[in-house]
Amino acid sequence: MSSVYKALTIAGSDSGGGAGIQADLKTFQELGVYGMSALTAVTVQNTLGVQGVHPIPPETVAAQIASVGEDLKPDALKTGMLFSAEIIEQVAGQVSRFGWNKLVVDPVMIAKGGAELLLEEAVQALRSRLLPLALVVTPNLPEAERLTGMTIAGAEGKREAAKRLHALGTAYVVIKGGHEEGDPERSVDLLYDGSGFTEFAGTRVSTPHTHGTGCTFSAAITAGLATGLEVTEAVGQARAFIQAALEDSLGIGNGHGPTNHWAYRRRQTDGVEL
Ligand SMILES: Nc1ncnc2c1ncn2[C@@H]1O[C@H](COP(=O)(O)OP(=O)(O)O)[C@@H](O)[C@H]1O
Ligand SMILES: Cc1ncc(COP(=O)(O)OP(=O)(O)O)c(N)n1
């Protein structure tokens, strides 16, 4: 029998299914990885926005991670919405305890509609407790600004922010380009490995259906790492995955709909170049 690859997501639930745990598990599945989860919060959410946020007790978050770690042993893991410093503390404790080194941190802070998914006072815990344990961190532009305390302007600004994030202890930094207003044609994600930069560019898709892009992208990187890809390969695969998911979006809901998690595998099956 071939190897079974396993990945764990530590994140919040999105009842609408486009972001959070639901997006992560769908992405793992599509990339051939068995998915496991530790829930940090229940959000009441659809394509129109977030109507409620209900955090899980920090000890319950830790217990879920410990339960998975003691038995199923993930090959890679990611974090998404963590909500509070207390939850971050528990997550960091469990990651250290198990010695997991293929950790992807998606520093989720604010949902598209403006809902707070990370408390203001928890940003420092993310910087000091979790980023030093991460192999990869994947901030969007506002998150990178918040984590570095700098205003990011243009390509040079992205490079400087990536260097500052790397200095916090994360081996690979990916600054995502979805929020970049300067380039109407392309969305460019910048990878920094401590010595050099690699750009991953995709055609910018004009669509309102962008809900959960960050979750899906970081879950695809995690799945790639779980199957043994190097970080650069995993980011390249994730870029192709999110491009397909945006281009073939489902068009459901009355607001910002989800991306299409089937699109990448369907393109592979159809022999479309990715
Ligand atoms: N309109 C778009 N067209 C093409 N790629 C996009 C678009 N919006 C986001 N992406 C890609 O989706 C991923 C998530 O980016 P971003 O939207 O910046 O993150 P977040 O969802 O965390 O705000 C990145 O790979 C980014 O390049
Ligand atoms: C439960 C939950 N987790 C994370 C997010 C944010 O997801 P993201 O991929 O950044 O997408 P948008 O919210 O920006 O559409 C979320 N909304 N809910």
Tell me the one-letter amino acid at 148. Answer: T
Give me the pLDDT at residue 85, please.
98
pTM: 0.98
CB-based contacts of 91, cutoff 8 Å, min separation 6: 10, 40, 61, 62, 65, 79, 82, 130
User: Which structural domains are found in the chain, ordered by start?
Assistant: 6-270 (3.40.1190.20)
Give the residue whose CA is nearest to atom 10 of ligand 2: 214
- Where does ligand 2 bind, in terms of residues with CB under 6 Å? 11-14, 19-20, 43, 45, 80-81, 108, 111-112, 117, 211-215, 256
| Nearest alpha carbon to residue 5 among 31, 25, 38 | 31
Over 60: is that where the pLDDT of 178 sits? yes
- Distance, in Å, from the CA atom of 194 to the CA atom of 33, rounded to the nearest integer, reads 29
Q: Work out the average pLDDT over 47-70.
A: 98
pLDDT over 80 (residue 30): yes
Which of 88, 148, 144 lies closest to 121, judged by CA? 88
Q: Residue 63 has which token pair?
A: 């217990």
**Residues marked as catalytic:** 176, 210, 212-215
User: DSSP letter at 133?
Assistant: G
> How far from the centroid of its chain's Cα atoms is residue 100's Cα?
17
* 259, amino acid identity: T
> Measuring from atom 12 of ligand 1, which residue has the nearest CA?
213
Q: How many residues are there in the chain? A: 274
User: Could you give the ipTM of this predicted complex?
Assistant: 0.98
Helices (H) then strands (E): counts for the chain: 9, 9
Residue 274 to residues 28, 170, 241, Cα–Cα distance (Å) = 18, 29, 8
Predicted confidence band of residue 182 (pLDDT cuts 50, 70, 90): confident
Q: How far is the CA of 207 from the centre of ligand 1 (A)?
A: 11
Cα–Cα distance between 144 and 128 in angstroms, integer? 15
